[in-house]
Structures are given as structure tokens and as C-alpha cells.
Amino acid sequence: MTFGTDLKDQVPSILDYLGEGIASLAQFRAFIKEKSHIEREYAQKLESLTKKYKPNIKQQQKDEWSSEDNVNTGTTSAAWTQLLEQTSRIAKNRIAVADQMNQTVVDTLRDVIGRKEELRKKQTMFYQKLKNERDKTFSEKDKGKQLYDDACSEIENLKTKLAKTNDQEKIQKQLETAYLECDNKKNVYLLAIDVANAERAKYFEQDLPALADQLEELDAERIECLRNILKQYIHIETKSLSNIQQCHNDTLNFVEKLDPVIESGIFTRKALDMDSNERAANVTFSFMPWNGGTNAAETIIDRDAHLVTNDAAVIFLNNKLIKNRKRYDALEEEVSKKSTELNQLASLVTSIQNKETADYDKQKEKLLDLITDLTLVSTEQVKVKSEIDLIIQHIGDDGLRAQNHDFKSSSFTIPTTCDYCNNTIWGLSNKGFTCRACGFNCHAKCEMKVAPNCSKTKGQVNPQPISISRSQSKATFQGSPNQSTLIPPSEPTFTPSSTNSNSAFLSPKLPSSSIYEEQPTNDEEHADIRCLYSYDAQNEDELSIQEGDTLITIEPDDGSGWIKARRGHCVGLVPATYVEHLLETVVAIYDFEASNPEELHLKEGDIVTVIKKDDSGWWEGSLNGKVGIFPANYVQ
């Protein structure tokens, strides 16, 4: 019967029990110290002292050790009671040994109590660390649940707006983004659930039993120290007072019976009758679907407890898998190193025969510190492994063999285009990432969405493969977020880039040949877009193009993914992702004084090359080799 086996979920009670045991050492020390002073006066004073303690001890036994049978009578309690009885009988003979008792018993107990109490405090802090780490993980799970619910609610709000608004395209875009964010938040929530379950299992099946056994060992050492000190005390009494040798022999018989196994067994039997405050060991977390909000009866609830594995979600999961794998390898190395150190230190502690020395307690303290560190690191390893296993279970481990980007954190003092979302990254406080290998730039929020297709060549940034969730701007979702019907049918055809079911990307299907009948015209000097790929028209509304063609924009992309353009006398629709916009120049019609280094200083008549436009009222451009932003209403 051990604490780790029978009382693994009652660590607080064990800590209290251990504290009471150390307090009993302090009580014994106080008794001897006071006794030595009183012995210098009169035997009557010593007799009064024993009478003073006897009622308290009897009351303590009544409260803590009494039972209908004698099985719960502690060896410590019995020895202590016998000691007081003998003290009363030999009170008049104790003055001669007062000084020796102070040196041998009182001072030794002071050192032992200090060391044991320090170890108990460290174990208490260790337990709190374990509990706080567990509670933190459970809180992350609950936070993930709340974020997932909020994302689901946002989708329903957008659906309501979509039914009422005239700006269908804008709301539709927002709805698509909301679906993507909802999928990611669901995945994060599911991962958090798995992490919480993994940590819960380790917490109750490994950490708490190990801690309980350590506390039992510490309590056994306390009792052994008490036994040895009591032996010394009795030895002094025996040598100094031969006339009461028999009295001390009677007391020694009780002292020799001090047994940590009996003491822990008594406490275990009593503790098993108590109600445990912690029942969380029996709880297993599972996915809780969103409740549907205020319109639950009319809302289609996503009850799928599996990770979302659409194209965009697989990119996110693969990136997380890559990060977790690196973290797991680092933790594995750290666990191996600390385990070796632990074995060596444990052997050293075991080899120390005298467990009352300061050296033993010092080495034991180091051992407990190392156990604490190793336990926390192994807990982190379990959490990371649970995410890795769950991701691989759903999408496999192909992502570990991809051409991953080597991102580093960056600040962008000059406005820079995010190579993922094509929006601007700008400002010292607006952190982003840059790939060390190829120079790919992205927002911090876009990092986990970037496909692992690094060119490994400096300056050669591979374009992001077209993802279903990003390119199909007119997708209409029905049912769960993983089901969709895509329109219009006249858009370019895309095929999976890999036959693997875990492929996260779609790439343009380029025709092997195309008919190109139109001849170049003088409009080329007014062209504002250039073709990146060749494309054969699929119907009479579309325009066939070849790589390198320059076109004039008739109608820009309205969110459908198509641009209406003209080449020569031919006008038609071309895929927006197949072309790039050429630089445009504008003329300043007013003077503009820059208020910070990120703005351009304009004078009327200056010609500015436009790099990027947006709806904020500020454009990005270049003037005399300097790149910055300027107000759009100051130019034409």
C-alpha cells in the first residue's frame, strides 16, 4: 500500500499530513528545549511540564488516532505518550544533562526541521506548477471552444446580412473568410481538446502518483530522522541516569517501534475514508459543437468531431505539424539529457548512508528539482505529441517532407506586399515574417496559411498555389463548412497538384497549345496588364491569351475572379489570376508635405509611379527612387 497507488488524487491531503509530521518534530524540539530549561530549576517544574503536555497529547490522540480497534494507533503517538510518562518519573534527575540535550537534540532537530520543511515547500510548489499547467491547458481548451463558437456565430450573422443586403459580393467574401477562420478555429479547438486529454491522463496517471510516492519517501525520512534523534536522546538519558535505566529502556522499546510503513498505512486508511476534492481524473474531454445560437432550430450544426481537412485547412495543419515536429525533437533531446542526469543523481543519493546529513538533503533537493524539470518538460512533450498524432491521423505526414519556408520575424519600415494575401505589410509595430531561403514575405497572421513550396533560391519566390478557399470568389457554401458548390462554371479549370488525398494545393491547368489569331496593335503602349500564363477561351465571352501578351483593362475584377480586357480589336474575359498589373503613373496636382519618413513629399507636377492602390485613401508609390505613401486625392 503506497501513496502513489492508493492516494494519487489526494496530494493536498498528503502535503498537509507531511506538514503535520514536520510540525510534530518542531513540537518535540520545543518540548526538549523547554524541558532542559526547567530541569535547571526544580524537579517540580519538570513535573509541571509533563502535566502541561499530557492533556494536550491525550486530546490529540482522541482527535486523530482513536479508533474502535488499535489498528489506527500510531507508533509515533505511542512513543510520545510513553516518553512523557517516563519524564514525569525522572524529573528530579534531569538537571545534569540539560546542556547535553540542548546540543544533541534541540540543535539537530532545528536543522532537520528546516531542511525537511524546505523540501516539503518545494514539493508543494511543484504540485502547484503541475496543477496550474493542467488548469492552463484546460483554460486553453475552453478558450478554443469560445473562439469556435464566436466564429460560428459570425457565420450566421453574415448569412443573415447576406439575405438582407444589396452588396452581395462584399458579404459573400466576408462569409468565405469567416468559413475559413471557423475551420481553423475548430481545428485549434479540437487540438486543444486532444492536448487537454493527453495532459489530463499524464497528470493523473504519471505525475500525481510519482509526486505522492516522493512525498511518502520524504515522510519516511522524517520518521527515520525522528527515530534516530529519539535514540540519541534516550542514549543520553541512559548514560547519565543509570538509576532510571529501566525507565528509559521502557521508553526505548516504544521508540524502536517507530515505523514509517505503519504511519503511512494509518494515514492511508484514514484518507481513504475521506472524500477527495479532485475527481477530474475521471473526466475525458470531447468535442462540443456550437449550440446554434439564437436560431438553433434553423441552423445547421457542425457536429463532426474530426479535424477539418479541406485544402486551406491542410496547409494550416501541415505548417503546425512542421512546427510541432521541430519542437518535439528538441524536447526529446532535452528529456533524454535530463533522464541521464536524473539516473546519475538518484544513484548518488542512494549511496549516501547517513540520511540526517546536510549533504544528503542537499543532493536530495537537487534530485527533486531535476524531477520537477523533467516532469514539466515531459508534460510539454506529451502535449506536442498529441497534436502531431492527431494531425497525422487525419492528413498523414506528407507535410514533413515538403519544401518548407525558413521564416524569421521581420519589421517592414517600407511598405511591402504580402506574398500570400497581396495586402501591404507596413510599420515597425506591424510584425511579419521573411523566408531566409527565398525571401517570401507575409503577415504574421498569414504565416500558418502559406503553402510549403519554398524555392530554396534567394530572390525566387514561388507563387502560392491557388487554394479553393481563396480563389473561388463566388463559392456558395451549403450545409457544413466543408461542403460547397462553386460558380460560375465558366471559370478556369483547376486540378489537384497531387493524387495524394492530403494535397493542400490546386494549380492552374495550362493547355499544351492554344490558337492565337489576333495581331499586335498600337494599343500596346497603353496596356496596363501583362499575361503570366496562356489560356484558351472556353466560350465566346472569354478571350484567348498567351504568356507575355499585354492587354488593356475594360472592367477590373469585381470579385468574380475575371477581368474584362481588350487586345487589339478583341474583347473578352480573362482569369484575374493569369495576369499582372503593370505600373501606373500619376501627376501631383497639389503640394503635399510629408509628416513622417514613410510618406512621400510631393510638389505640384511631380510624376509618381503607383505601386499599390487600396480603399484607405492612401496609395503606395515611388518618386525619385524613394518608396512611400501619399494621399490619393492629391494626384490624377
Residue by residue, what is the 3-state secondary structure of 319-364?
A: HHHHHHHHHHHHHHHHHHHHHHHHHHHHHHHHHCCCCCCHHHHHHH
- What percentage of the chain carries pLDDT values higher than 90? 15
Q: What is the pLDDT of residue 60?
A: 55
**Orientation angle between helical segments 107-164 and 208-240, nearest 10 degrees:** 170
Alpha-helical (H) ranges within 165-207 are 168-202
pTM over 0.85: no
Residues 6 or more apart whose Cβ sits within 8 Å of residue 498: 505
Residue 292 scores a pLDDT above 70: no
Rounded to 10 degrees, what is the CA torsion of 303, 309, 312, 317?
110
- Using a pLDDT cut of 70, give the percent of the chain over it: 83
What confidence tier does 475 reach under pLDDT thresholds 50, 70, 90? very low
Give the bridge partners for 443, in sequence order: 432
User: Which element (helix H / strand E) includes 148?
Assistant: helix 107-164
Grid cell digits, residue 277? 476534492
Q: Does the pLDDT value for residue 518 go beyond 50?
A: no
Average pLDDT, the chain: 79
The pLDDT confidence band at residue 470, using thresholds 50, 70 and 90, is: very low
- Banded pLDDT at 194 (limits 50, 70, 90): very high
Place of cell 462540443: 288
Cβ contact 625:608 at 8 Å: no
| Predicted confidence (pLDDT) per residue in 226-240, tens digit | 888 888 888 887 887
Q: What is the DSSP letter of 493?
A: P
State residue 468's pLDDT score: 38
Q: How far apart are the C-alpha atoms of 378 and 244, rounded to whole Å?
A: 58
Q: How confident is the model at residue 392 (pLDDT cuts 50, 70, 90)?
A: very high
